[in-house]
C-alpha cells in the first residue's frame, strides 16, 4: 500500500472535519452543516473511487479509518437507543396529559403505522408491476449465491415457527437481555416492558400518590439526563454524515448498480410515492407539508446516510417536538416506529420482492388473491422488524416464507442493497414521524403555532 497516498486522503478528511467544526463555531445552522457534510461526502467519495478504483488497497484502508468517525458516531447513537426507548415510554406515562388518553394514543399510533405499511405494500406491488420486474431478469453471480445461502440459513432459524410462536418472540421473557439489544425483536420487547411499568405506575398513582410522585420525579430526572446525552451525540451528526457518505459512495459498486438500474429506479419511485403519501396525509390533516420537510430535513438526511432507523430515534423525537407534537406522543411514535410498520423496509421492499419472485414458482403475481395475501402478510409481519441495517432482510424472509416463495432469491439484490436501504430508512423515519403528527392532530394535542414557526427547529438546541 502507498502510505503517502493514504496519509493524503486522511489529511483531506481531517480538513473537511475542521471545516464543519469551523461552521459550528460560527453558529451556522444545523441543517446547513448536515447538507454541507452530505455534499462533501458524495463528491469526496466519487473522487476517491475515480482516482483509486474500488479494489484499491489505499481506498479500502482509507475508508476503514474514515469509519472511525462514521461508524463511531453510529455506535454512540446505538449506545443510547435502548435507554432512550425505555425511558421515553416510561416518561410518557408520568405525564398526566398523555396518560389520560394512553389507550387511544397507542391504538392510533400503531394503527397509522400498520395502515401506512399496508399502503406501502400496495405501492410496492404497483411499482414492481409497472416496471415489469422479475427475479429471472437478474444475473446470479458468486456474491448473490453466497447471499442466498446466508438468507436460507437465517430462514432456518424461524422455519417451523407458527405465527403465534413468532408473536410470542416479541414478548420480553428477559427484559435485561433485551435492553442489550441481543435479539432482532429486542426493541419491541423493551417497549412492551416499559409499557407494563408505566401501567403499574398508573395503578400506584391511584392508590399511593406520594410513592408515584417520587417515581415520576426519578423517571423525569433520568429522562433529562438521557436527553442531554442525546444532544451531545447529535452535535456530532455532520461529522458522522460526512464520513458515512464518503465511505458509502467510495465503496459502491457502480457497475452492479448500473446492471440493476431498473430495480434501483423502481425502488426509488416507490419510495418517492410513499413520501408523497405522507405529505398528502399531513395536507389532508390541515398541516403544511412544506414546514414538515423543512424541519424534518436533518433527520431524514441522517437516516438516508446512516441506514439505521434506531440511530435516528433521538433526532426523530426532537424533530416531532419542533413540529408541535407533545413529548409523550413523540416518544411513543418514535419508539413504536422502530419495530412496527416500517414503510420502506417492511412495506415496499418485501412486497416488491414477492411480486418479482412469484412467477419463478408459477404464481400469477397479479391475481387478486395473491395481492391481498401479500398486503395482509406484509402488514402483520411488520411487527418486530429491527430498526437497524438488515431489518429489510428480516422482513423479506418473513414475508417470502409466509407466501411459500424461495427465500434465497432475495439475495440477488445484494450488490445494490446499501443504495436502496438508504432511501428505505428515510421513508421508515418519515412514516414514524407522520404517525406521531397525525395522532397529535386527531387527539387535538398538536401545537399548530410551534408547527408553523419556521424558527422552531431542532438546531436551536444542537
Cβ–Cβ under 8 Å, residues 391 and 270: no
* CATH fold of the domain at 3-460: 1.10.3860
Whether 20 shows a pLDDT value over 80: the answer reads yes
Q: To the nearest whole number, what is the mean pLDDT of the chain?
A: 81
Residues 394-441: tens digit of each pLDDT:
677 777 777 777 766 665 566 677 778 889 889 999 999 999 999 999
Whether 100 shows a pLDDT value over 80: the answer reads no
Residue boundaries of the structural domains of the chain: 3-460
Element (H, E) at 21: helix 3-25
Question: Which position has the higher pLDDT, 217 or 263?
Answer: 217
Total-model pTM: 0.78
Dihedral sign for Cα 113, 340, 313, 176, please. positive
CA 192, CA 339: separation in Å to the nearest integer? 11
- Who's near 189: CB < 8 A, 6+ residues apart? 170, 171, 172, 175, 178, 183
Buried b (16+ CB within 10 A) or exposed e, 52-87: beeebebbebbbeebbebbbebbebbeebbbbbbbb
CA 370, CA 389: separation in Å to the nearest integer? 29
pLDDT at 141: 47
pLDDT at 345: 82
**In three state form, how does the secondary structure of 91-137 look?**
HHHCCHHHHCCHHHHHHHHHHHHHHHHHHHHHHHHHHHHHCCCCHHH
CA 202, CA 39: separation in Å to the nearest integer? 48
Which of 76-90, 125-139, 156-170, 236-250 holds the top average pLDDT? 236-250
Which three cell numbers mark 365?
403475481
Output the CA torsion 93→99→104→110 (10° steps).
Answer: -10
CA 350, CA 432: separation in Å to the nearest integer? 19
Please report, rounded to a whole number, the percentage of residues in the chain having pLDDT higher than 90: 21
Quick one: which of 117, 86, 55 has its CA closest to 347? 117
pLDDT at 117: 92
pLDDT at 256: 62
Concatenating the DSSP letter of every residue in 176-213 gives: HHHTTT-STTHHHHHHHHHHHHHHHHHHHHHH-HHHHH
CA 390, CA 184: separation in Å to the nearest integer? 10
Residues 37-64: tens digit of each pLDDT:
988 998 999 899 888 888 888 888 898 8
Cβ–Cβ under 8 Å, residues 326 and 98: yes
Average pLDDT over residues 80-105: 76
Whether 147 shows a pLDDT value over 50: the answer reads no
Average pLDDT over residues 444-454: 88
Residues 372-402: tens digit of each pLDDT:
988 988 888 777 565 444 556 667 777 777 7
Average pLDDT over residues 150-176: 63
Average pLDDT over residues 138-145: 48
Whether 155 shows a pLDDT value over 90: the answer reads no
* Lowest mean pLDDT segment, chosen from 4-13, 163-172, 220-229: 163-172
pLDDT at 148: 44
pLDDT at 280: 96
Specify burial of residue 143 (Cβ count, 10 A radius: 0-12, 13-18, 19+): middle
User: Residue 360: which pLDDT band, with cuts at 50, 70 and 90?
Assistant: confident
Average pLDDT over residues 289-301: 91
Amino acid at each position: 500500500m502507498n502510505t503517502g497516498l493514504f496519509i493524503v486522503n486522511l489529511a483531506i478528511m481531517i480538513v473537511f472535519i475542521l471545516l464543519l467544526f469551523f461552521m459550528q463555531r460560527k453558529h451556522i445552522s444545523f441543517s446547513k452543516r448536515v447538507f454541507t457534510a452530505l455534499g462533501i461526502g458524495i463528491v469526496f467519495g466519487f473522487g476517491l473511487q475515480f482516482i483509486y478504483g474500488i479494489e484499491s488497497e489505499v481506498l479500502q484502508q482509507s475508508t476503514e479509518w474514515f469509519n472511525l468517525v462514521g461508524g463511531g458516531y453510529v455506535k454512540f447513537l446505538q449506545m443510547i437507543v435502548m435507554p432512550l426507548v425505555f425511558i421515553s415510554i416510561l416518561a410518557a406515562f408520568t405525564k398526566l396529559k398523555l396518560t389520560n388518553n394512553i389507550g387511544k394514543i397507542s391504538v392510533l399510533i400503531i394503527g397509522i403505522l400498520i395502515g401506512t405499511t399496508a399502503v406501502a405494500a400496495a405501492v410496492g406491488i404497483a411499482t414492481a408491476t409497472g416496471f415489469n420486474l422479475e427475479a429471472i431478469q437478474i444475473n446470479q453471480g458468486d456474491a448473490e449465491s453466497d447471499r442466498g445461502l446466508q438468507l436460507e440459513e437465517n430462514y432456518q432459524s424461524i422455519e417451523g415457527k407458527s405465527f403465534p410462536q413468532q408473536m410470542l418472540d416479541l414478548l420480553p421473557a428477559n427484559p435485561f437481555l433485551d435492553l442489550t439489544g441481543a435479539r432482532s425483536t429486542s426493541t419491541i420487547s423493551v417497549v412492551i416492558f416499559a409499557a407494563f411499568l408505566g401501567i403499574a405506575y398508573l395503578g400506584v398513582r391511584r392508590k399511593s400518590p406520594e410513592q408515584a410522585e417520587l417515581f415520576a420525579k426519578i423517571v423525569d430526572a433520568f429522562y433529562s439526563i438521557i436527553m442531554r446525552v442525546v444532544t451531545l451525540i447529535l452535535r456530532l451528526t455532520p461529522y458522522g454524515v460526512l464520513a458515512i457518505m464518503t465511505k458509502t459512495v467510495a465503496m459502491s459498486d457502480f457497475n452492479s448498480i448500473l446492471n440493476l438500474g431498473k430495480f434501483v429506479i423502481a425502488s426509488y419511485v416507490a419510495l418517492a410515492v410513499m413520501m408523497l403519501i405522507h405529505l398528502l396525509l399531513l395536507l389532508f390533516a390541515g398541516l403544511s407539508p412544506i414546514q414538515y420537510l423543512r424541519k424534518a430535513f436533518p433527520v431524514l438526511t441522517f437516516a438516508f446516510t446512516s441506514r439505521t432507523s434506531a440511530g435516528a430515534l433521538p433526532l426523530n423525537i426532537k424533530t416531532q417536538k419542533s413540529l408541535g407534537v407533545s413529548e409523550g406522543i413523540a416518544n411513543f411514535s418514535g419508539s413504536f416506529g422502530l419495530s412496527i410498520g416500517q414503510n420502506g423496509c417492511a412495506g415496499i421492499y418485501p412486497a416488491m420482492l414477492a411480486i418479482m419472485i412469484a412467477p419463478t414458482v408459477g404464481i400469477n403475481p397479479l391475481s387478486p388473491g395473491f395481492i391481498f395475501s401479500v398486503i395482509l402478510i406484509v402488514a402483520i409481519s411488520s411487527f418486530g422488524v429491527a430498526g437497524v441495517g438488515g431489518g429489510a432482510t428480516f422482513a423479506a424472509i418473513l414475508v417470502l416464507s409466509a407466501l411459500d416463495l424461495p427465500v434465497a432469491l432475495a439475495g440477488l439484490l445484494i450488490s445494490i442493497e446499501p443504495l436502496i436501504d438508504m432511501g428505505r430508512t428515510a421513508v421508515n423515519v418519515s412514516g414514524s414521524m407522520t404517525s406521531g403528527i397525525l395522532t397529535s392532530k386527531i387527539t387535538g394535542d398538536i401545537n399548530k403555532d410551534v408547527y408553523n414557526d419556521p424558527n422552531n427547529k431542532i438546531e436551536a438546541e444542537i
